[in-house]
Amino acid sequence: MTTPRTRGARLLSGAAAGALALAAVAATPSLAQAAERPAAERSSKAGNEAGLRAAVARANRKDGLDRLKLRDDVRFNGRLGGAIEVTDDLVLNARGFTIDAKGVDRIFTVADGARLVVKNARLRGGAPATGESGGAILVNGELVVRNTSMLANQVTGTGASGGAVFNDGGKVLISDSRLARNTATRAGGAIEADEGLTQLIGTRMVKNSTGDEPGNGGALHLTGAGAVEITSSWVGGNSAGAEGGGLWNSADGTFIVDRTRIEGNTAGGAEADQGGGGIYNDGGFLQVTGSSITGNTATGAAGSGGGLLNNLGTVEVVETTVADNEAPRAGGGIEANGGDTTVRRSSLTDNTAGAAPGNGGGLHITGTGTVDVVGSVVSGNTALAEGGGLWNSAGGVFTVRGSEITDNVAAGAAADQGGGGLYNEMGDLTVRGSTVTGNTAPGAAGSGGGIFNNQGTLAVVQSDVSGNDAQRAGGAIEANVGTTSVLRSSLNDNTAGAAPGNGGAFHLTGAGVVDVAGTEVRGNSASAEGGGLWNSAGGTFTVTGSEIVGNTAGGNDADQGGGGLYNDGGTLTLRDSTVSDNTATGTAGSGGGLLNKGTLEVVGTTFDANTSVRAGGAIETTDATTVALRDVVMTGNDTGAAPGNGGGLHITAAGVVTYDGGRVTGNNADNEGGGLWNSATGVLTVTDVVVTGNTAPTNPDNHNDGGVFTIDGTPVPATP
């Protein structure tokens, strides 16, 4: 949110203006070099307030550079005047002594065209009149500060900003210094930069604060089209009443943070677009490189962006650690409210989004923004509701490339909550060349241990989504409606728990569309149904050129199981794939390879070495379903002793199955129909299929329990 200004805005153009300002610094002598030009130098000393004022006055009257050294501490007494105005070039070497304004006024005002260099000083106690800015120094010209402390300066009243320094369109360079315990009512607890150029090198800004009018930028606040560059510094323990506990950038500002620690800052704004415990970017350009943003907090009721909040601006986070930050609403590490946010070669670790509602432990996007996470690690983050690692909004475009999303937790208890690694809320999410492992959705009905796609568009490409866990469904991926594609990826060793525990790797809820191609689905488990993949009533689910191997479903009922795949009334198409070594382990578990309760088409696919306890070692189809099998091979499948029917294919109830081309060999049933088993009301038509070498105590190849069963036009008689 925009911080109200106290002066008219200079009309510069956002990031371009800041870039020009930084370029100008690179092309011209530094402030320190310019301030210490040797021409017309004069030197003097001062040991008290009167001496200091007199020395500065003499320097102002004569052209050229003056050098002034302190011989003792200087304390203002209020009888000799207010702020000391510098109107010409002056170098002040305090030699470790203190200038204490004692609350009389600010210490220095640097006029337009003047240059002041302050070295080896302690500047404290500055306090200008109510409503004025710049507690210690007001800069209209140029200021260089070296090896200096600015302590306990303050500005109060409406519009008062810059507890220590107010850069009013000038140039400021502060190096190897410390700014601590400075306060401002409006903004910039330590520094307020109103346009101009402000640079900090090797400097600490600690325990500075702003009030609540509005209270932005606990350490440093930029207003207007200025430029700020902070290098090799520490911004710690600062607080802002509303936004940017550490740093705050304006809509037209350019803000560069390089090799700097942003640590332990707090922002207290209560609104959803407030917070940014470490940094707040209000529409400008912000780049954070080689830095750490750790232990910051957005404390307000709906505060967001514990580490960083990007409000409609452009943010680049490069080679930076964002860790241990916290926000009540969303974006424990980073909140992106629209705008463009890039996280490159960085880490988002151990951040937390609280209970209001608690989405996006690592990063959360609100609105129609764009987020790109590249070559980064998102690990150990927690969201109390959705998206333990990352959360994408309706209208958001979110891309994850070459990254690791590991060991994150989303604890939401509802069936449409979870997404331990990533949550996509009706937006556009792409995960490419990445790893999503060890994430959990442990809530009572939490779903999507790795990824939850809620009515959006999700593409998982050349990625590994493995070792994730969900309590309800979708150990790796839960799709609630929407469109989901999984291409050339692996979904391995994921788990769906006991509430009810469907879709160990992938679960679709509602009338969504899913496409799985060139993918390995291996070693997953579901407590009830669909150890590998689970399709809903109304869902359209296509699997092409994939391997469904070694998955387990533990449901005990006769219509549960589906070790590899489970189709719960939707449309399932399986092409050119392998379904092997899957198991339905429950007491009456059926369909070791696949259990179908909807419309099923299987083409050019092999079912091998799948097992079930009740029926359908390879395939179980039940209810009034329609099944088309073409060029399907069933070999080495087995069904157990409860009762143990249909080692290859088993039809329950009035299903209609056509089987054209293929082979049914080497399958076993402990009771009837080692190869094929048809129910009393089923219709099974088999053409050009080799059915041989199967085993069962009764009818080892084919068993007809009274329905319509033909092989190459010849009826298979019913067995009494």
Same domain, 221 and 299: no
CA separation (Å) from 229 to 93, 285, 596?
Answer: 25, 12, 62
Domain assignment present for residue 311? The answer is yes
Whether residue 214 is found in the same domain as residue 361: no
Are 180 and 321 members of one domain?
no
Same domain as 197, residue 299: no
Say whether both 200 and 306 belong to one domain: no
* CA 218/CA 262 separation, integer angstroms: 12
pLDDT at 24: 42
Q: What is the pLDDT of residue 30?
A: 45
User: Which pLDDT score, from 0 to 100, does residue 589 have?
Assistant: 98
pLDDT at residue 6 tops 50:
no
pLDDT, average across residues 121-137: 98
Tens digits of residue pLDDT in 602-622 = 999 999 999 999 999 999 999
Final residue belonging to a domain, choices 328, 353, 384: 384
Q: What is the pLDDT of residue 46?
A: 87
Inform me whether the pLDDT recorded for 13 exceeds 50: no
HSE of 663 in the Cβ direction (CA atoms, 13 Å)?
A: 8
Amino acid at 157: G
372 bridge partner residues: 342, 399
Residue 124 has pLDDT above 90, yes or no: yes
User: pLDDT per residue over 334-393, tens digit each?
Assistant: 999 999 999 999 999 999 999 999 999 999 999 999 999 999 999 999 999 999 999 999
In our burial notation (b when 16+ CB lie closer than 10 A, e otherwise), range 17-40 reads bbeebbeebeeeeebbebbbeeee
* 43 and 118 inside one domain: yes
Cα angle value 641/645/646 (rounded, 5°) = 135
pLDDT band at 8 (very low <50, low <70, confident <90, very high): very low
**pLDDT (mean) for 271-283:** 98
> 101 to each of 83, 92, 153, 567, how far by Cα in Å?
9, 16, 9, 78
Do 201 and 297 belong together in one domain?
no
What's the total number of domains in the chain? 2
Q: Tell whether 207 is covered by a domain.
A: yes
Same-domain pairing of 235 and 311: no
Q: How far apart are CA 254 and CA 250, in angstroms?
A: 8
What pLDDT does residue 4 have? 53
Please state, rounded to an integer, the average pLDDT across all residues of the chain.
95
- Beta bridge partner(s), residue 410: 383
pLDDT at 395: 94
16, pLDDT greater than 60: no
Q: Lowest mean pLDDT: which of 18-27, 93-102, 104-113, 245-254?
A: 18-27
Q: Which residues of 154-173 are buried (b: 16+ CB within 10 A; e: fewer)?
A: bbbbebbbbbbbbbbbbbbb
Q: Which of 2-6, 65-69, 490-494 has the lowest mean pLDDT?
A: 2-6
Which residue range is the domain that position 134 belongs to? 32-241
What pLDDT digit, counting tens, does each position of 78-101 carry?
999 999 999 999 999 999 999 999
CA distance linking residue 533 with residue 349, whole number of Å: 30
Per-residue confidence (pLDDT) for residue 47, from 0 to 100: 86
What is the model's pLDDT at position 43? Answer: 83
| 488-515 mean pLDDT | 98
Q: How confident is the model at residue 537 (pLDDT cuts 50, 70, 90)?
A: very high
